[in-house]
Structure 1
Amino acid sequence: MAILVTGGAGYIGSHTCVELLNAGYDVVVVDNLSNSSEESLARVRQITKREFPFYPIDLLELSKLEQVFEAHEIEAVVHFAGSKAVGESVAIPLKYYENNLISTINLCQVMQKHDVKRLVFSSSATVYAPTDAGAISEDFPLAASNPYGRSKWMIEEMLRDLFISDPAWSIALLRYFNPVGAHPSGLIGEHPNGKPNNLTPYITQVAVGKLDKLYVFGGDYPTHDGTGVRDYIHVMDLANGHLKAIERVKSTTGAEAYNLGTGRGYSVLEMIHAFRIESERDIPYTVVDRRPGDIAVCYADPSKARDKLGWLATRGLAEMCADAWRWQSQNPNGYEKSEQEKMQLI
């Protein structure tokens, strides 16, 4: 019996594969490599000393997905695959709804056909309504403010309807806050296509010299230093949350949402300061106007995940920054080979 990991070559997916393999699970990976690299899977094998099959297919290709289920005995699925950039989702919403919704419908149809009814879904804290309330619990109002977040919200509702139609299903909806960091080996980490959309890879690319400076959006928020405060969580803590969720869905039924966050927030300037310490590099920045829709403070109430999953984030800000810097400094081009490395292969 194996765990199918869709989007397993991506940032969070690859780290979760490491946790699953190290815990003794067999995994099967499906990824269309549109926003990831097969090199990450080679490095997962290097870290874990384990082999696993990989299928470079798109979940929109229903017949190819069928073949994966026919070739392997799947007991549960961790579903990461999907488009994930907020700004891009505003520019091309139909593409996001197609990639995220149709692919999940295809996946669930094939799972149902093969009587596989254990699912861990990669959702997002973007499903919550914008608020300045601070700590957000799972019963907080949902009202995503962009197509990416709405696609996650729609999938959550769809999966709840699936459970209502068939109570044999067991589904964990994991709402992430802000994943950062990398595997402590420095072998796998975050590798954004083009200019980063998230704060941490932007900071590390400034520190390594790929980008000139960081733009801080808003310096006049009602916070202790005027910059926005967010809940940053180490990607290995996040990966461990998926392992705990697999254990949960294997032993229960239902469709339950869980926040995965640390329960405290750090400001943008605190993140910059922490990275300066860990990297011993200057990180020049310029404060510019706020972005529309951004709020002052947002962090998780992770108590439900603690109580129901037995999960708790254990890694602090220094470790998040140190591991992110180790990855970036050892892999300045991410998974892409430098021109010098390419020449050495000729």
Structure 2
Amino acid sequence: MTESDSSQEFDAQAWLDDLERAGEEHRQVVQLRPTGDVLGPLLAEIARSSQRILNLARVHYCLAAGMSPTQTYAWKPATGSIAEQDVSRWDAPTVAFSASPDLQSTHWLDTNPIRNPTVRAIEHLTRCSNTALDHLAAVGDLLAIEGGALRAPLTLTRTVLEAASVACFLTDLDVGPQERLRRAMNVHFNDVKEGANFTGDAEISERLLTELDELREFAIQLGFSVTPHNRKRWTPPVIHGDGETRPASAMSMAELLLPGIGRTTYRSLSAVAHSYRPPIHIAGEHAIWIEVDSWQRTEGIAWHLIAPLLAVDEMLKRLQAYLGWEIGSDKAVFEEVIKALMIAGGLRDQEIREHLGLPPRNT
């Protein structure tokens, strides 16, 4: 062995010393990250305060429309809003189609308050916001529990991202009214088809399939090209957008909303929900959750919460812009909590190391 080779021999003791030093440095870093018992209540309060704000707006604009807020939970767009314009745009075509004597579905009765496709889409927005904010509050509650579950909050977080992304997809003001209608009709198709697939009652299923056939005919009369509806298959008809060959999925909506992180986050969260190996590593992949350190649990949840919280923030902004509501989403609050999530998720560790006077990592 040459002197040069000898100088490059593996020094086991030095390696162990470096490993111990790195571990001690990391312990110092994670001690300065926000903890779950701090982040959890913040997330839960954001969700619940947002729900209260939306409900106050619902009451206000319901009264402005001359309706009793205790007799309906419908969201009423403000006068002159984009949503009101969309409703008005499709009122006459809806009434004209509903006058056909051949229709069998109760959807077209003039007593149905949501037969107008935009009104029906607004009803769907209420479910999206309730779903996103309810699940966000639950994530916050679970995160605050010391030694709590790891995977359950991630599955709830996936729902936050999905529901908020769908709401943003339906209220996109960067597209025109015809495109918003196309998106709303596809959501309606899917909703009715899911109902027909779910029910075990043949009569109810037949009524829903008939409604779906008539909705498809209505879309065609509005000028859309709609794929055929095969009643024996599980999938609904689709109105494809320009250049599309498949319907928009929750993942594609998340990516459209948050390019670069929407798809990545959704895939990682879906893997957890379906018991697959997540592409983004989480602690305790092969260990039971009660053995995961508190900081590791918080890190995994916080990292995955960044995109969903951005989606919720955008959802509230788009609801305000589309409905013409003044709901006063506090941008500064969301920015500060997202910053805290980034720190807790390990994305700002280098800044903490500099604060502690530690050398850059991996040196």
Which category of TM-score, normalised to the shorter sequence, fits these structures? Answer: under 0.3
Q: TM-score scaled to structure 1, two decimals?
A: 0.23
Higher relative contact order (CA 8 A, sep 6+): 2
Q: TM-score scaled to structure 2, two decimals?
A: 0.22
More strand by share: 1
More helix by share: 2
